[in-house]
């Protein structure tokens, strides 16, 4: 499926594309013929990423410094991008998160996450959507959410709130804009370690090890696994997929949801000695 020209000439904007999972997706898009554009707040990081990827793959990456929290900056950036040629795909990858006891959070701390993840994602999605609709163009939006967008999670409440908002936006606009040829889908990753972010979210090495091994496969995700899934979802091969959220977590979410999954702790001897009583 992953032919060298699978994404031939597709213009793909990746928010937060200078680092982490965003960068990994951009690299894979480049390999498969796309013309990616990256944006983020730090222009020096974007320029370094663009230079390194061009040196590695031999094809240029366009970049724009933009604070997604500021609608005027987002609107100006999208206007510049569409002035040369319309986008085909938007990937909402920019995020912010930290762990804290929720009662200690200040309003500014809550806003620091909500403004990037919820508001920033909405700003750029609507800026692209308005232009696709006005010019009767198809479009594709892929957003990176998380499994705790379904369930919530202690100690990352602003992130859970924001990701749930992005998930609701994805499903809502998939219905509203689908008739216009605009598809919206999402990926809900489990643990995919990234430089910097992992240390901020998992404060002790022993906790990191426990988190990395708590899914049924007993390992973390590899960036190329997520990048390949992203490729499929933004490609024409997924043209009938709309409003879906694909979980990519090694089965972690299901393991936590099952009422009796804790019985995996039983040994062979425990099972041999276990004699369930007949139900009435």
Q: Checking DSSP bridges between strand 11-15 and strand 139-144, what pairing results, if any?
A: unpaired
Helix (H), strand (E), coil (C) string for 228-271: HHHHHHHCHHHCCCCCCEEEECCCHHHHHHCCCHHHHHCCHHHH
Catalytic residues: 148
Tokens encoding 22: 């965003």
Given the structure tokens 């912010």, which residue do they identify? 96
Cα-based distances in Å from 225 to 106, 128, 190, 200, 221:
36, 27, 12, 23, 7
DSSP label of 90: E
Taking phi first (over 0 means left), then psi (-120 to 50 degrees means alpha), and beta for anything else, what does residue 155 get? left
Closest among 96, 115, 186 to 149, alpha carbons compared: 186
Cα separation, 97 vs 197, in Å, equals: 8
Q: What is the DSSP string of 151-212?
A: H--TT-HHHHHHHHHHHHHHHHHHHHHHTTTEEEEEEEE-----TTHHHHH--SHHHHHHHH
């Amino acid at each position: 499926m992953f032919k060298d020209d699978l994404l031939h000439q597709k213009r793909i904007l990746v928010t937060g594309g200078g680092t982490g999972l965003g960068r990994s997706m951009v690299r894979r898009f480049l390999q498969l013929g796309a013309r990616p554009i990256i944006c983020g707040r730090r222009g020096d990081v974007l320029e370094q990423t663009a230079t390194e990827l061009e040196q590695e793959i031999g094809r240029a990456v366009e970049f724009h410094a933009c604070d997604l929290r500021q609608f005027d900056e987002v609107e100006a950036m999208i206007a510049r991008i569409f002035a040369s040629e319309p986008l085909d795909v938007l990937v909402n990858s920019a995020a912010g998160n930290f762990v804290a006891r929720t009662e200690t959070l200040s309003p500014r701390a809550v806003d620091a996450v909500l403004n990037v993840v919820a508001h920033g994602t909405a700003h750029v999605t609507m800026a692209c959507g308005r232009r696709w609709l006005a010019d009767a163009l198809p479009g594709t939006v892929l957003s990176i959410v998380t499994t705790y967008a379904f369930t919530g999670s202690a100690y990352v409440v602003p992130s859970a709130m924001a990701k749930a908002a992005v998930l609701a936006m994805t499903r809502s606009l998939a219905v509203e804009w689908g008739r216009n040829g605009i598809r919206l889908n999402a990926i809900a990753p489990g643990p995919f370690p990234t430089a910097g972010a992992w240390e901020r979210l998992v404060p002790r090495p022993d906790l990191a090890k426990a988190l990395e091994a708590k899914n049924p496969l007993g390992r973390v995700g590899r960036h190329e696994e997520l990048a390949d899934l992203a490729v499929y979802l933004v490609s024409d091969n997924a043209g009938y997929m709309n409003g879906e959220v694909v979980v990519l977590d090694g089965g972690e979410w299901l393991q936590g949801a099952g009422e009796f999954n804790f019985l995996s702790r039983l040994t062979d001897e425990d099972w041999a000695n276990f004699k369930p009583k007949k139900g009435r």
